[in-house]
Amino acid sequence: MKTIATDKSYGGTQGVYVERSEACDCDMTFAVFVPPQAAAGKLPVLWYLSGLTCTHANVMDKGEYRRLAAELGLVIVCPDTSPRGDHVPDEADNWQFGKGAGFYVDATEPPYSANYRMYSYIVDELPRLLAAEFPVDMDRQGIFGHSMGGHGAITIALKNPDRFRSCSAFAPISHPSVSGWSKPAFRKYLGADEKTWRAYDACSLIEEGHRFPELFVDQGTADSFLEDGLRPDELRQACEASGIGLKLRMQEGYGHSYFFISTFMEDHLRWHAQKLTN
């Protein structure tokens, strides 16, 4: 691991780091905020997964999480959204696929299967590095994210309920197997057999018996991607049918941007802190 930059913020440290990822076969950059309480011992860790076109930097620059994370004693980890590098296959004119659009899956179709292994990177590889290099209590982990990252957070939590104590999302892609946003990407990453897509689809995972105690979702009513891309009602229906507690708040007049995310960031951090620190 190499340190790219560190800056003091609210008594803690906002760092940016790079590691050579075996899962993605490239250098991967990620950000970690360590609050001042780390001087006294290991702290709960909260993963934030970003959306389409984003890197680690979007939430770090615009998410407004550090003041409250410092108050609550939460380590915030912000990974990148895809592999990077000249050797990584891409569609430069397609913002919904390739670099910046890894969808937190392990691709099975060449040439993407060599690099696009974001599920393994987030679930296996980066946690090992985090535990070795930072003052984190890996028995107290939460996960949240935005849009594509909300999809990633919910699916990862559903498949790893013993690891994560809490999960929330801002405007998640709730049913990517049928969403116009994600179907083309799933086909290229995972192949033509749509049954294999279900392993990375929140609604499908719930239908197949995966469970998580409670989910917290905020969704803007003025989000232009609401009906086709995000489909929160389908997540609501899946949770109701399965008995999963879903706190779904439709926020009047809010869109899809970080103006929306930063407005409700405090609510999400406090919700996670309650579950991670009690």
Give catalytic residues, as residue numbers. Answer: 147, 223, 256
- Left (φ > 0), alpha (ψ -120 to 50) or beta: where does 231 sit? left
Whole-angstrom distance, CA of residue 27 vs CA of residue 18: 6
How far is CA 131 from each of CA 104, 118, 154, rounded to the nearest angstrom? 21, 18, 22
Distance CA 71, CA 112 (A): 41
Strands lying side by side in the sheet with 136-146:
2-9, 12-21, 26-34, 75-79, 43-49, 136-146, 164-170, 214-220, 245-251
d(CA 62, CA 48): 13
Structure-token pair, residue 186: 């799933």
CA gap 188, 235 in Å, rounded:
24
Q: Quick check: helix, strand or coil at residue 190?
A: helix
Structure tokens at 232: 């929160």
